[in-house]
Amino acid sequence: MIEIASLCKRYGSFTAVRSLDLVVSAGELFGFLGPNGAGKTTTMRMIAGILQPTSGSVKIAGHDVRTNPLEAKRALGFIPDRPFIYEKLTGMEFLRFAAGLYGEHGAEVDRRGMELLALFDLDNWRDELVESYSHGMRQKLIIASAFIHRPPVIVVDEPMVGLDPKSAKILKELFREYTKRGHTVMMSTHTLEIAEGMCDRIGIMQRGELVACGTMEQLRGATGNDDALEDIFLRLTGDNVARELVEVLNA
Amino acid sequence: MREPGALVGAWQLLAPKWQMARHRVRKHQPGDLRRSVVVGALGVAFWAAVFVISLKLLRYFRSAEDIGDLLAGKLLSMILLSFMSILLLSNTIAALSNFFLARDLDQLAAAPVKPWALYRARLAETAMHSSWMVALLLLPLIAAFGTAYRGGFVFPLFALLVFVPFLCIPAAAGSAVTLLLVNVFPARRTRDLLSVITALAVCGLVVLFRAARPEQLARPEGFQNFMQFIAALDAPSSPWLPSEWVSDALMNFLQGSASWEPLARLWGTTALLVAIGGSLHARGWARGFSQAQEGASRRTVPGSKQPLLERLLSPLNPTRRQLVLKELRVFARDSTQWSQLVMLAVLLVVYVANVRYLPLSGEGMTALLRNVIPFLNLALAGFVLASIAARFVFPSVSLEGRALWLLRSSPFSMRDLLWAKFWVGAVPLLVLALILVGATNMMLGVRTFVHIVSLAAIVAMVFPLTAMALSYGTFYPQFDSENAAQIPTSFGGLLFMMSGIVLIGAVAYLTGRPAARFLVAEHFGWARDPVTMVLPFVVALVLCIAATVAPLMMARRRLDGLERG
């Protein structure tokens, strides 16, 4: 599980994340929403230990990322929004390397790598260099690399971008199955239908703050309307889009 | 298989790099063989030349009794001192990229990698990236020492034992300096950091060179007696510098005396610096890496006032103005470009400082010689300009890379794009050329005639060099490359440098030779006719104009082809 307490991140005078408190339990699929620049990616990078918080703490599976980083990271699979893959490695080599970072190697890693590649229709590409992969194929390889060491917690930033419908469906099922087995998934997305259909709970960030958090029912209850997630999201993050649009077009 | 508690080691972190290198070697592309042959032949020719010249010099030194070995040792320690300062600077800059800016660090930072393993892996990469060129340059020189002194088969092994710590020391020191600087700078702006590194490097270099006082040795008459000269040769430039230890170890070995003490110093210092660096890394890397990512945000200060540069460029049409502004902004905000500028600034200071300290006032040093040196300087300055054009102008078209769709789909002529790239490259080169030649001319105290001819010649060289760099860069683009520093090391970059050297040689010959002959004739009171200089000067001018216009026209046609393709 993920426990975030009073998490804060400042860049000079700009506050990207403002005193965030959040617990994502074991077996939960948590959707993390918010407009561009709301602080989602900064939060996720702090969870992964890539960025250091200005204050506050993050615990993964009970281990503090700051004081016990190795144990915390061992329990985590992180998929960034703009992942880097070594262009001159083959898909299988990259998976072996990713597993090696978590101290795993040998025939078991190869078997699991093949299974994951087959799951995402990449098995015929296993020995091709990553430079020849399309954007979607790279995304699938990165997702496979996050699952290769079977971490109890997965944190994933915008996983559906670039995926074909079949792969998107597989990924949704994979996340559901994973959480059913007691693992935790925290996912940021801009596709509100996906968040509404998949996630157990949804958190909405706005200007570095968590402005709403709960199940769909709880969110509807909080806004007082029987709305879809899109309406709730727009109400919480500013619904003057249509007016501004007309003003811009008339300008 | 999972080993309980097992964590990834430095070798595993380096594994992708080896695998990628293997794939690169295996994957052949059309023209690879031709490139390998050209590069290999040039490399062998260069090595052979360095080896032969060094061997001749060393044999000449050895023929001088008493001082021959001392001179050889002094020469070696001075060369090593220069290399060490270059290594220290390039390691400091490479460490910034390898430890804090590399794109694969996100994955490593999110994985349970022990700091010590990450430190060793990145240190090895930093040392490799920064040292390979110096190591290749050292090879023929050290081979010449081994041959001249008959070092035998054991000498190469001993040299390896000496040079491994010599290359590791600047890497460990440079990466520790970078780590401290990245942690100290609160605003985390790469440019601020690099300007500090530049200042430190320039100060360090000037101090090192002044400590060595190389010009003294070229003027034995400056010493009161021969014994004092010998004593100056025998005294180490600084007993605390690793370059001195390497020189001592090698010379002791070659002369058959004990060399274990400098060797122990080298390895002991390496171990100590790596231990200190590893300890600093464990304490400060996570914080520094986090801060390094914050540097990308909020660089510019918003304001309602139109920036000065935009106002200066307002006479240009909007397309050209925007293209020039884009070129300047992208350049100014690219940290890889800036790190190269740091190197450049240091090299320029060394260049000008070397001319400043040339022994030009001693006996036998005539006004004639002082006035002829600028024409030799012309070729050297031209080479410096060609190197800078290769580094900054040649990659210009390649760097459009992924934004090429925007240029292709926009309604403007490729002529405008080339115009912007040409002038953005040519104007700074022009300023640099005037400073390089003007400053050295003033230090030499040359006559007005020499001043005018050398300045005119270097100005005339700037335009064809810029045009050729741009044109070769258009014909041999590397659109997939993200690191501008690597683009000039391609085959096209090599061809540009070769063509550039031919042009520089031709212009320096066509302008320098008749002017120098005129000066010699005047000096000795021989008959002289200034009209004989007109023809070679006109030929040089025509050559420069042709070498500017033709490459630009070819580049334009090529870019138009890309647009249609």
pLDDT in tens, B517-547: 888 888 777 877 778 888 999 999 999 999 9
Which comes out higher in pLDDT, residue A86 or B483? A86
From B4, which residue of chain A is nearest by alpha-carbon distance?
Answer: A103
Cβ within 8 Å, pair B187-A86: no
Kindly report the nearest CA distance between residue A58 and chain B, in angstroms.
Answer: 13
Q: At CB < 8 A and 24+ separation, what contacts does B294-300 make?
A: B294/A11, B294/A51, B294/B188, B295/B187, B295/B188, B295/B189, B295/B190, B297/A11, B297/A14, B298/A11, B298/A12, B298/A14, B299/B189, B299/B333
Residue holding tokens 């909405």?
A204
Q: What are the chain B neighbours of A108 within 8 Å (beta carbons)?
A: 1-2
> Any CB–CB contact under 8 A between B108 and chain A?
yes
**Mean pLDDT (whole number) for B147-175:** 93
Q: Which two tokens stand for residue B165?
A: 């710590």
Q: What is the per-residue pLDDT for B6?
A: 53
Q: Does A52 touch chain B (CB under 8 A)?
A: yes
The yes/no answer to whether this complex scores an ipTM above 0.90 is no
Q: Over 50: is that where the pLDDT of B285 sits? A: yes
Q: Which of chain A's residues have a Cβ under 8 Å away from the Cβ of B111?
A: 73, 101-102
User: In angstroms, what separates the C-alpha of A123 from chain B's closest C-alpha?
Assistant: 20
Q: Are B112 and A70 in contact (CB < 8 Å)? A: yes
So what's the pLDDT on residue B221? 56
Which pLDDT score, from 0 to 100, does residue B306 have? 61
Which of A12, A51, A74 comes nearest B298 by C-beta?
A12
- % of chain B surpassing 90 pLDDT: 29
Q: Which residues contact A95 (CB under 8 A, 6 or more apart)?
A: A109, A113, A116, A117, A141, A144, A145, A148
- Cβ B16–A129 below 8 Å, yes or no? no
Residue % of chain A over a pLDDT of 70: 95
Q: Which two tokens stand for residue B516?
A: 């120098």
B427 inside 8 A of chain A by CB? no
**Looking at A155-169, B211-225, B468-482, which range is the least confident one?**
B211-225
Is A69 in Cβ contact with B23 (below 8 Å)? no
pLDDT at residue B1 is higher than 90: no
Q: What is the pLDDT of residue B184?
A: 78
Please give the Cα distance from A57 to B224 (Å, whole number).
72
Least confident range from B299-313, B418-432, B456-470: namely: B299-313
Q: pLDDT tens digits, residue range B348-393?
A: 777 777 776 666 655 555 666 777 778 878 888 898 899 889 988 9
The stretch B154-166 carries a mean pLDDT of: 94
Of B19, B24, B104, the CB nearest to A84: B104
The residue of B107, B192, B294 whose CB has the most chain A CBs within 10 angstroms, and thus the best one to mutate to test that interface, is: B107
Instruction: Please give the average per-residue pLDDT across B409-421, as a whole number.
Output: 83
Least confident of B42-51, B198-207, B272-281, B383-392: B198-207
In this complex, do B290 and A101 lie within 8 Å of one another by their Cβ atoms?
no
Q: Minimal CA–CA distance to A223: which of A199, A202, A195, A193? A: A202
- Token readout for B25 is 């070697």
- Per the CB < 8 A criterion, the answer to whether B157 and B145 are in contact is no
| A87: confidence class by pLDDT, cuts 50, 70, 90 | confident
SS3 letters for B387-401?
A: HHHHHHCHHHCHHHH
